Structure 1
Amino acid sequence: MKRFAGYIFDLDGTVYLGEEPLPGAPETICQLMAQDSRCVFLSNKPIEPVSRYREKLRAMGIPVNDGDVINSSIVMARYLNHRKPGAKVYLVGEKPLEDELTRAGAIITSNPYEAEYVVISWDRDFNYRKLHDAMQAILNGAHMVATHPDRACPVPGGLVPDAAGMIAAIEAVTGKKCEEIVGKPSRWTVDAALERLGLPREEVLMVGDRLETDITMGKSAGIKTALVLTGITRREDLVNSTVQPDYILEGLPDLLKGD
């Protein structure tokens, strides 16, 4: 298939599943890099620091640099800095996201009545107290924003609930809609990736396993897209989908077909 100057790779379900690389994925990426293609890696997953993703890729033999991995925590920090530097945030999320927002200057508060933003994310300790406090903050005028819209995350053996469950619960009790979701497929994420690559859109390929995030984002940004069938999406899901990728791959090694 066509060789691109730049690649934006999703991680979970595309490059690896859990702690294990998907067959041929590291070797394929390394070969693309050796042929001078630039690569950026995206994850909507905010429950680990971005340094952990870099370490994980390096352990698989993929030579990533600082800045080559962007997750929804980093994008949310950029978003808040753009909207209101030093904003007071009530967080429904985990420690790595809190740390990223704090480093970027946000003020995390446990008092819902002083929060200016409620940031909603994947939170494995989501409970009634967080639901109650998020509701009070939003009804008191705080903006409701979220890191990413994923309904489930692929793990070895199946799927686990993701941030969409927390967003839906808070929307239900407040009667309000989330104002902005900054992770894939948002322009906030694709703009961060394109800025890192420093390439024209027509020279970039978005590669991922989800129609509703990875492929939708690429299409919306005017980037060519490749759906890999190693994660969430199955070939039969394409039959009735309004979102169609430019390429369909059984795995990342298909990127090298024709070499």
Structure 2
Amino acid sequence: MSGIEGAVLDLDGTVYRGDALVPGAAAAIETLRERGVDVLFFSNKAIERPAAYREKLERLGVPVPADRVVTSATVTATYVAEHHPGERVFLVGEEPLAEELAAAGVSVGPPADATVVVASMDRSFDYDALSDAMAAMEGADAFYATNPDRTCPVEGGEIPDAAGMIGAVEGVTGRDLDLVLGKPSPVAVEAAMARLGVAPERCLMVGDRLETDVRMGNRAGMRTALVLTGVTDAADLPGGEGAGASGRPGSSTAGYRDRTGTDRGNAPAPDHVLDSLADVPSLL
């Protein structure tokens, strides 16, 4: 695979799980940089601001320039600020997302004042929060989500992600999302390419999730690599076979299942399936 100038790397399940770096990840990232590949880290989790993810990466031994970390919170805040200037948002989400919105000039307020509802992962989500979201939706012109992920990989397993909150709001209101703003949306692609300054066809997307990471890369015309250190593992692949360090083309995803047990028969096909991020340099 030649002509790669940029790489977009997912974080959870790709670079690390919980507080543990994926073995070989730091060396792989260093090798990419040595070969002239500009690396951008893109997390779909909106429960921390980019600076916190950068600090975590550096603590794990991966130095990162400040402008090389993007999250779904970053993308969401920018989009809402540009498309809904002066409007107030009701937020189902955690404080770092509220801070990211505020930094972009977006006001977060109570249900009665909201014309936009944004849903995201919220580990304190409860019945009162759902009732407030239901009230906010009555006057909302737009309903967005930071990301569609059902679960988030952590050390020792997975935890519920934004899909739980989104599903609850959709369920009680009967209203579907207008737009997901993080991966795999075109909004996320545009944000990533703007940071890297690289054409999509010269970029490699690496992640552990078919329906976000691989789908985003495929839609944008990037090369894509699925790693087996997150929500998809070797046992979930067609035939139950792993890819090995050299990877293998993802010509078919019929029968794919992620660890939630959900059939991914219509999931996008990655160009390569790798054991881990450590194997990515072998593609270049």
Contact 1:154 1:231 in 2 (8 A): yes
Mapping 1:1-259, distance limit 5 Å = 2=2, 4-110=4-110, 112-239=111-238, 240=254, 241-242=265-266, 243-257=268-282
What are the ranges of 5 or more consecutive residues in structure 1 without an aligned counterpart? none
Q: TM-score, normalised by structure 2?
A: 0.87
Partners of 2:168 and 2:128 lie apart in 1 by 12
Matched residue of 2:45: which SS? coil
Partners of 2:106 and 2:150 lie apart in 1 by 26
Contact 2:20 2:155 in 1 (8 A): no
Contact 2:214 2:224 in 1 (8 A): yes
Indicate the structure whose relative CO is greater, using CA pairs within 8 Å and at least 6 residues apart: 1
Contact 2:117 2:140 in 1 (8 A): no
Distance 1:232 1:3, change over 3 A: farther
Of 59-68 and 47-56, deviating more is 59-68
| Alpha-carbon distance, 1:2 to partner | 4.3
Distance 1:252 1:139, change over 3 A: same
What are the ranges of 5 or more consecutive residues in structure 2 without an aligned counterpart? 239-253, 255-264
Matched residue of 1:4: which SS? coil
Partners of 2:181 and 2:130 lie apart in 1 by 21
Give 1:217's aligned amino acid: M
Partners of 1:229 and 1:2 lie apart in 2 by 23
Q: TM-score, normalised by structure 1?
A: 0.95
Matched residue of 1:67: which SS? helix
Of 77-86 and 179-188, deviating more is 77-86
User: Which whole-Å deviations, capped at 9, do the CAs of 1:203-239 have from their partners, x for residues lacking one?
Assistant: 1000000001000111111111000111111234343
Query: Aligned residue pairs: how many?
Result: 258
Partners of 2:126 and 2:35 lie apart in 1 by 49
Give 2:162's aligned amino acid: A
Matched residue of 2:4: which SS? coil
Structure 1 stretches of 4+ moved >3 Å: 235-238
Partners of 1:257 and 1:199 lie apart in 2 by 21
Of 239-248 and 73-82, deviating more is 239-248
Give % identity: 48
| Alpha-carbon distance, 1:84 to partner | 1.2
| Alpha-carbon distance, 1:3 to partner | 6.3
Partners of 2:52 and 2:112 lie apart in 1 by 34
